[in-house]
Amino acid sequence: MTSKQQLSFPRQYARTQRFTLGAPRAFTVAPDGSRVVFLRSPSGTDRSHRLWVLDLEGEVRERVAADPGVLLGGADEELPAEERSRRERSREGSGGIVGYAVDREVELAAFALSGRLFTAELRAGTARELPAAGPVIDPRPSPDGRLVAYAAGGALRVVGAEGDGDRALAEPDDAHTSYGVAEFIAAEEMGRSRGFWWSPGSDRLLVARVDDSAVRRWWITDPAHPEREPVRTAYPSAGTANAAVGLLLMGLDGARTEVVWDRERYPYLARVHWSPAGPPLLLVQTRDQRTALHLAVDTESGATRTVHVDEDPAWVELSDGVPGWAPGGRLVRIADEGGARVLAVGGRPLTGPRLHVRAVLDIGDTDVLVSASAGEEAAEPETGEIHVYRVGERGAERVSEGPGVHGAVRSGR
């Protein structure tokens, strides 16, 4: 192999998975600002991501909080079918710890490896496996850090953070139902990969229930392994029946309250938001995606009320980070107004045609952090660039510097 071949752009692009390997990603900042949690693989050609902590108090240093090689005893990672599907839908090509969730204080992280459940105590720097029914999908600590909820085998389960009391809150009614996971349409087309959400008080959860009995079945073969039998897969191709998606409020004692909306007219559950700033907030859509409702949920009765309606003759665009609540119960959304994608808080647009708002990154007490590109009326067009802005009542202030595509996270306080 020649030096020219080794350094060619296509080869580097493929080996580094689009130059993402070895680069930090998936940041979380502790509320007290003492540490930053993130994922990173050891090098630009190593696919196995580790969980890291950057300590900011005293002498700044970074350390490994969880290493897949150590936790699996040097064994190769074995992905269950459910996890392979999740990674395919999220376009995740790397390995190891590819996702994690934390509690409110960013003291405890939970993640899955080879369908097994692991937690890491981020301040102490120790990681361990918890006994759990598998294969484990999308484990998430409660905000208070006492429990970990996860999906497994169509059920939603919880286990104590110390590994005690593993139990099912909801088990599949039959072979076609599942709890706590996102169905194909949500994960593949709408960017919703989650199927359950903890309450701010850690005492109950919102849980998606999926029934795919009406979805057409397909037989999929693997061209790389012609000796294997085709796999029967539920796939909602265009114009055919979709999975039926509902939502339940579940107590830790197993008590259930159905969340009620017009599921016939609005079958798509596109977004769910639950924060201390207000009641659970849903974004549901018609199948043609031309109408979307923002719904607030009564946590006692499960009834919903319409907070806002979005309509578009072509389709309603979905954006990351919205809808949400600002302090005081004001709705935060991204809307098409005046020929621009604007940030609206409490029904009032806070940006104009100079910015094209792409996503909400964080909702603070006095401002909203967004990613945006230059709009049609921008004084200086920035083709191909995305920047971070802090938006408040007095306008938008750019936070990121230099050309490029920028993102950001900040602490919860």
Residue 1 has a pLDDT of 47
Instruction: Express as a percent the part of the chain with pLDDT over 90.
Output: 77
98, two tokens: 């590819």
Q: Find the helix or strand (DSSP H, E) in which 165 lies.
A: none
What would the pLDDT profile of 31-41 be if each residue is shown by its tens digit? 999 999 999 99
Per-residue model confidence as pLDDT tens digits over 145-197: 999 999 999 999 999 999 999 999 999 999 999 999 999 999 999 999 999 99
Read off the pLDDT of residues 56-67 as tens digits, 9 standing for 90 and up: 988 889 999 999
At 358 the three-state DSSP class reads strand
Query: What mean pLDDT is predicted for residues 85-99?
Result: 88
Question: What are the C-alpha distances in Å from 44 to residues 23, 24, 95, 185?
Answer: 8, 11, 13, 33
Separation of alpha carbons 194 and 3, rounded Å: 45
Nearest to 367 by CA among 391, 396, 346, 395: 391
Q: Quick one: average pLDDT of 3-14? A: 74
Strand partners, 157: 150, 168
Q: What does 41-55 look like in DSSP terms, one character per residue?
A: -SSTT--EEEEEEEE
The stretch 109-120 carries a mean pLDDT of 97
> pLDDT value at position 411?
83
pLDDT at site 79: 87
Q: Quick one: tokens of 297? A: 């949920």
pLDDT on residue 413: 53
* Helix ranges restricted to H, 55-113: 68-71, 81-89
- Report the pLDDT averaged over residues 372-394: 82
pLDDT number for residue 378: 63
Determine the average pLDDT of the residues in 397-412. 91
DSSP at 405: B
- Residue pair 97/111 in contact by the 8 Å Cβ criterion: yes
Structure confidence at residue 67 (pLDDT): 96
Residue with tokens 């938006």: 391
Instruction: Tell me how far apart the alpha carbons of residues 174 and 176 are, in angstroms, rounded to a whole number.
Output: 5
Strands 95-96 and 48-55, by their bridges, are: parallel
Rounded to whole angstroms, how far apart are CA atoms 78 and 377? 51
What mean pLDDT do residues 359-388 have? 86
Residue 5 has pLDDT above 50, yes or no: yes
Q: Is a pLDDT exceeding 50 seen at residue 124?
A: yes
Q: Are 118 and 104 in contact (CB under 8 A)?
A: no
Instruction: Give the pTM.
Output: 0.92
Condensed to tens digits (0 to 9), the pLDDT of residues 300-341 reads 999 999 999 999 999 999 999 999 999 889 999 999 987 889
Better-scored residue on pLDDT, 295 or 95: 295
Share of the chain above pLDDT 70, in %: 96
Asked if 295 and 305 count as a contact pair (C-beta separation under 8 A), the reply is yes
The predicted pLDDT at position 46 comes to: 86
Residue 377: is its pLDDT beyond 70? no
One-character DSSP codes across 261-278: --TTT--EEEEEE--TTS
pLDDT digits (tens, 9 = 90+) for 207-263: 999 999 999 999 999 898 899 899 898 999 999 999 999 999 999 998 999 999 999
End-to-end CA distance of the chain: 53
In the numeric block, which tokens belong to residue 261?
A: 């909306």
Residues pairing with 95 in the sheet? 48
**With contact defined as beta carbons under 8 Å apart, do 172 and 156 qualify?**
no
CA-based max dimension of the chain? 69
pLDDT tens column, 280-299? 999 999 999 999 999 999 99
Token couple for 139: 């484990």
Measure the CA–CA gap between 368 and 61, rounded to whole angstroms.
30
Task: Please tell me which residue, 200 or 231, carries the higher pLDDT value.
Answer: 200
Higher pLDDT pick, 134 / 209: 209
The overall average pLDDT reported for the chain is 93
Strand partners, 357: 372
